Structure 1
């Protein structure tokens, strides 16, 4: 259900965001009706649109609230309806940079990929889901069970094969998908089914918060979404405030490994999760290696030894080596037993840690940042217990215990 002129609108919108005033919010709520380009839709947007109509304000790329190509009183009506949770249609710019118009309210939802699943459970918006992907059942049963989804129809897995016939049979209003697959999936479904991509499962606090904001409006659960956002921001603020004035030269160096001899700098994935947590990533500013498709660097064992990192982190897939202390201990011993590693500062000082992927690649990724901060700056975060923070999140917003260890070993 996409407007055929969306590409031009997206280009103009993205250009406009480059010139958002410095006193604007850290991000813009990407919903049409957010006329003043802040992080919410409220009475200020009504005032702004009225100013456009009166000729005193400039049109913005989100001021056409009902997305009909003109700014008029109908847009004020639409904004009032969004504020009251009574809109019949809602137009958003998703994280695949696609303009998507949804019929509201949402009554039938298919989760064709992980990440949004956890967000919906956290904000108590689970009752509209009618089908889920196999990876949610296989890798996120701790989310599917509290969501009440384990017995729902399986719609396949995008990395092998989605069951498009099953999705069409379920007749959803919306299908959630990863940004890189959104267009492909959208093209294989009828126009009556909207496909939306939201990046709630990436190690980027701003994107996660933006995703919760949009989901809150879409599911009319704004209060619940704000509760989660406030919780995330509380700990994110603590980390940023305590580390912002640290001298980079005095910070410990670290190597973060996502796969065997594969790492990321502070701009991408695992490296981004650990950025601004009180350490220096040895991959930052290095031009020796050509980045891969996802920004990863395949590094040499010799280079890592030459950098002699103070701390080493290794990502572990869920439901494997961190399901028990026995397995974790064996995996850590295997990881450390690399040629020459016994001479590195990290190994000599007992600063090598395993971490579960979900610590960074889920809406709760602030848990990962708390762990990285604790490992890298233990004195600065002596009053922070990441395990307690993780338990707080799962008990408060998910309603169960996380089924495996987040890290091994736990910080001292």
Structure 2
């Protein structure tokens, strides 16, 4: 269990668990839903963030610190490389993120952030409670902090991107990115629309010995539905510790792992498990790995994640 707790902490710091509806500790959505009024793109700008904190920006931010990778990816996609002055230790995309000042992980360095003289810090609802003391210290130092709403589905991701775009004076760019994401997603859905017999899929997000998967009401489950596939764990909810016998009994056609970026040979790990040799996916060597960042970070690359999952399940539909 210790192994998974380490992974759990890492995923939480990346804004993954709550984005997938997994941790059961999400802040209750109320009046402060973090939505920015459409059409409100001129400065000064006054908005309420995800926790009902009022944030007023007199002018377009020129120095931005991001506390979580999903926010960072959105900012880069909006063309704000020059404006980004600090990112978390976990930020690894795009490559330019590695060149930015690192401000810490789950426990960010308040003094370091203040030294960067940001006029906007983008935090995230998934970690806002645990980071409350640090965020208050930033506010006390006169730093503007905006807590981005936790997104649980694609529509909420689009809203998040639109909100951030408006907040940083890049509303048109955000709308263009959203339109492109929607078009790409529709293209994927069209390719799989003719599937007559849905493949049964098992997604594994943490390897042995503490094996975890995702049930219903998670982003990954939604992705499987979008590509016309059946999640064999959909009878359970959220992130779940796996009973291996249950997986074997479900006999998935496809197995997809999402931990190849930190665990070597994920396919071989699954293929070599005792008792799994008669599972269809193992017998037919239909075990594939998709990078976790593509299917968990609530930002512009989510559609790429959907496509990677779709290609793993129905490769014949994506030949060009």
1:203–1:365: 8 Å Cα contact kept in structure 2? no
Give 2:200's aligned residue: 253
Where structure 1 has 5 or more consecutive residues not aligned to the other structure, the ranges are 1-9, 15-28, 35-39, 42-78, 322-326, 386-412
Equivalent-residue separation in structure 2 for 1:176 and 1:372 (angstroms): 30
Within 5 Å, give how 1:108-147 maps onto structure 2. Answer: 108-136=63-91, 140=92, 142-145=93-96
Within 5 Å, give how 1:296-375 maps onto structure 2. Answer: 296-316=239-259, 318=261, 320=262, 330-362=265-297, 363=299, 364-375=301-312
Offset at residue 203 of structure 1 (A): 7.5
- Counterpart selection for 1:164 from 110, 123, 144: 110
Equivalent-residue separation in structure 1 for 2:94 and 2:52 (angstroms): 28
The TM-score, its normalising length taken from structure 2, stands at 0.78
1:155–1:162: 8 Å Cα contact kept in structure 2? yes
Equivalent-residue separation in structure 2 for 1:99 and 1:333 (angstroms): 49
1:255–1:282: 8 Å Cα contact kept in structure 2? yes
Equivalent-residue separation in structure 1 for 2:277 and 2:117 (angstroms): 58
The DSSP-based 3-state class of the residue aligned with 1:316 is coil
Distance verdict in 2 for CA 1:346–1:210, change over 3 Å: same
Give 1:11's aligned residue: 30
Cα deviations by residue, 1:282-339 (Å, 9 ceiling, x for unpaired): 11124xxxx6xxx211121111111111111111153x35xxxxx6xx4322221011
- Counterpart selection for 2:54 from 100, 107, 112: 100
Offset at residue 172 of structure 1 (A): 1.8
1:264–1:270: 8 Å Cα contact kept in structure 2? yes
- Is residue 273 of structure 1 aligned with residue 223 of structure 2? yes
Equivalent-residue separation in structure 2 for 1:12 and 1:212 (angstroms): 19
- Is residue 91 of structure 1 aligned with residue 47 of structure 2? yes
The DSSP-based 3-state class of the residue aligned with 2:47 is strand
Larger radius of gyration: 1
Offset at residue 243 of structure 1 (A): 5.0
Offset at residue 213 of structure 1 (A): 0.9
Equivalent-residue separation in structure 1 for 2:49 and 2:152 (angstroms): 20
Where structure 2 has 5 or more consecutive residues not aligned to the other structure, the ranges are 1-28
Give 1:262's aligned residue: 212
Between Structure 1 and Structure 2, how many residues are aligned? 282
Equivalent-residue separation in structure 2 for 1:224 and 1:89 (angstroms): 18
The TM-score, its normalising length taken from structure 1, stands at 0.62
Equivalent-residue separation in structure 2 for 1:338 and 1:203 (angstroms): 33
1:258–1:270: 8 Å Cα contact kept in structure 2? no
Equivalent-residue separation in structure 2 for 1:100 and 1:193 (angstroms): 13
Distance verdict in 2 for CA 1:12–1:125, change over 3 Å: closer
Root-mean-square deviation (CA), in Å? 2.7
Distance verdict in 2 for CA 1:231–1:356, change over 3 Å: same
Structure number with higher relative contact order (C-alpha < 8 Å, ≥ 6 residues apart): 2
